[in-house]
Structure 1
Amino acid sequence: MDGILPLWKPKGLTSHDCVFKVRKIAQTKKVGHTGTLDPEVEGVLPLCLGKATKLVPFLTDTTKTYEAVVRLGSSTETEDATGDIVESAEVPDFTTETIKESLASFIGEITQVPPMYSAVKVKGRRLYEYAREGVEVERPERQVYIHALSFLERIDATTFKMKVICSKGTYIRTLCVDIGRFLGVPAHMKELVRTGTGDFQEEHCTRLEDLDYATISRKLLPMERAVSHLPKWEVTEEEAEWIENGQRFNVPDTWEAGAIHCAVYDGDLLALYQDHPEKPGLIKPVRVFGRKQ
């Protein structure tokens, strides 16, 4: 089995729990996920099986789409609804237009400080390990990109839902807190659903309770779907044979400098190639998959 299984991760399971269950059903150890979702978050979790596990870093790097519920008036130690409240305040009667204006100010490149309850490593330890011990450490800032941020609905006077399309590494919890800070009130993320990862959306997903070996075989998508965001390099049959042996090539005429390309023959993804870092004018393989059997 080689391909991509878009899974709808349920609440209550870690991403690794899902990988473990699919390994047992698919009868293979070669299963990897493409971006961790917290246990209380549900949503799109593409899994890579077989040869497709080599594509995990490239699918992880794609944009993510979320629907988040923001609660104004209280902040928590975890920045979401699972943590204890650490600050409360009265919420002014914000108009919907005021909330929309606040969201617009976060579109583009922004700076985030990862939450203490996160898996980011500082001095060799996860931040959540420090947090559980009550130790506050300096957290590194990171630059992330918000491609789109739109208001969806007003749930009540202090709660609203928004849609976020963002780069990898974006903490939606932190975004909710920062939106509250922009409005002048404490805030936290009440709910979160990931509705998309790259080209994979909810309609492409299968639920764990519906999975068996035959279903996985039927639902498995070709590896090319994981890297559809990368430019293609169509190769000849002779070049395909060389690619399977890890051959380097002169830069093709249609090559986009600086980009990783999918080497494709007869619709089949053979490898990923990039500019040779030490030899200008040449390209070299990043990953080689070979032809389908």
Structure 2
Amino acid sequence: MADTIAAPNTTLSQLQSLHGIFAVFKKRGPTSAEVLGRLKKKLLREAGVANTKSRKRKKLLKIGHGGTLDSNSSGVLVIGIGEGTKMLTSLLKGPKRVVFLQKYTAVAELGIATDTLDVKGNVVEEKKYDHITKEALEEKLKEFTGEIMQVPPLYSALKKNGKRMAALMKQGQEVEPKPARPVRVYGLSLQDFSPPLFTLDLESGSGCHVRSLVDDLGKALSSCAHLKELTRIKQEGFSLEDALREDHWTFADIAQVLKPCPVSPEHETNAKKIKLEG
């Protein structure tokens, strides 16, 4: 069966002409990788390409995201397309704690700790929290602002020996925690305090795990806590209002909001090759 079908809305060459970054809205449930795969399939289908193997799809359209959102989280997910994937790389490998800013709204619960540090995990500890006041919580937040040391969650997208730590943990394998590393928290404030729930507004650089921050905060308050809900409301200049919902994952919509980037001669040569081979 042929891989290509008539394209009613756009052509593959038009799709491959997109180079830059934009944002999509990730809802709770799917992983960031699943959102990326869904977006890619939808765009290729619009361009008249269907039933292609993943290796061929990778050649036909280069796409990536600029920072994982957990499956239980929602919000802004920055996407790089074409040469835009190199923009993501430079942002993430450059002075990322200055450039790649992210803003979140986080809802957490006191008194319960889980193995995943969020609501999806199994309860591993319960402690009293009635000694914690709004004033005590606000005062403690000051210790988590600025450059702080943080141990990433065991259940995370970080890799060990080429495999995601979360996948290894789900397989029942023993995984050593990653060493504590510096992360930057630019702003941290209490939006609501309704024990056992509290809501935080947080602004950080890339690499900061909100689940770990909430877990550490609970311990610092002589109790425990876990993350219930997380929404990324801003990432690298993109807000929730800028993020394309799934019904707008089209060539026309992306072209309209795309922040373009220069195209290297090497990419143009490779694109011509792919077109000839196709």
Alignment of 1:76-87 (within 5 A): 76-87=114-125
Specify which of 222, 235, 239 is matched with residue 201 of structure 1: 239
> Does the alignment pair 1:23 with 2:55?
no
Distance in 1 (alpha carbons) for counterparts of 2:180 and 2:254? 40
Query: For the structure 1 residues 218 and 125, does the alpha-carbon distance in structure 2 shift closer, same or farther, using more than 3 Å as the test?
Result: closer
Q: Does the aligned pair in 2 maintain the 1:79–1:188 contact within 8 Å?
A: yes
Query: For the structure 1 residues 25 and 59, does the alpha-carbon distance in structure 2 shift closer, same or farther, using more than 3 Å as the test?
Result: farther
2:75 corresponds to: 43
> Does the alignment pair 1:111 with 2:149?
yes
1:123-163: per-residue Cα shift (whole Å, max 9, x none)?
Answer: 55433244231525243121111111111112x22111001
Distance in 2 (alpha carbons) for counterparts of 1:66 and 1:81? 17
Q: Does the aligned pair in 1 maintain the 2:233–2:239 contact within 8 Å?
A: yes
Distance in 2 (alpha carbons) for counterparts of 1:288 and 1:142? 37
Distance in 1 (alpha carbons) for counterparts of 2:83 and 2:167? 34
Shift of 1:195: 1.0
Shift of 1:217: 2.2
Moved more, 57-66 or 177-186: 57-66
1:243 corresponds to: none
Distance in 2 (alpha carbons) for counterparts of 1:211 and 1:138? 37
Distance in 1 (alpha carbons) for counterparts of 2:65 and 2:191? 29
Specify which of 159, 162, 179 is matched with residue 121 of structure 1: 159
Q: Secondary structure at the match of 1:105?
A: helix
- What TM-score do you get using the length of structure 2 for normalisation? 0.75
Shift of 1:197: 1.1
> Does the alignment pair 1:150 with 2:189?
yes
Specify which of 139, 159, 164 is matched with residue 202 of structure 2: 164
Distance in 2 (alpha carbons) for counterparts of 1:25 and 1:130? 30
User: How high is the sequence identity, in percent, across the aligned residues?
Assistant: 33
Q: Does the aligned pair in 2 maintain the 1:15–1:38 contact within 8 Å?
A: yes
| Root-mean-square deviation (Å) | 2.2
Moved more, 140-149 or 22-31: 22-31
Q: How many residues align?
A: 229
> Does the alignment pair 1:140 with 2:179?
yes
1:241 corresponds to: none
Query: For the structure 1 residues 53 and 85, does the alpha-carbon distance in structure 2 shift closer, same or farther, using more than 3 Å as the test?
Result: same
Q: Does the aligned pair in 2 maintain the 1:112–1:142 contact within 8 Å?
A: yes
Specify which of 164, 169, 191 is matched with residue 131 of structure 1: 169
Q: Does the aligned pair in 2 maintain the 1:26–1:216 contact within 8 Å?
A: no
Q: Give the partner amino acid of 2:122.
A: D
Q: Does the aligned pair in 1 maintain the 2:154–2:177 contact within 8 Å?
A: no
- What TM-score do you get using the length of structure 1 for normalisation? 0.72
Query: For the structure 1 residues 288 and 158, does the alpha-carbon distance in structure 2 shift closer, same or farther, using more than 3 Å as the test?
Result: farther
Query: For the structure 1 residues 97 and 289, does the alpha-carbon distance in structure 2 shift closer, same or farther, using more than 3 Å as the test?
Result: farther
Distance in 2 (alpha carbons) for counterparts of 1:121 and 1:19? 19
Alignment of 1:254-293 (within 5 A): 269=262
Specify which of 100, 115, 118 is matched with residue 138 of structure 2: 100
Distance in 2 (alpha carbons) for counterparts of 1:104 and 1:43? 26
Q: Give the partner amino acid of 2:110.
A: L
Distance in 2 (alpha carbons) for counterparts of 1:139 and 1:4? 30
Q: Does the aligned pair in 1 maintain the 2:110–2:197 contact within 8 Å?
A: yes
Structure with greater proportional helix content = 2
Q: Structure 1 stretches of 5 or more lacking a match? A: 224-268, 272-286
Distance in 1 (alpha carbons) for counterparts of 2:104 and 2:185? 11
Structure with greater proportional strand content = 1
Q: Structure 2 stretches of 5 or more lacking a match? A: 1-17, 45-59, 269-278
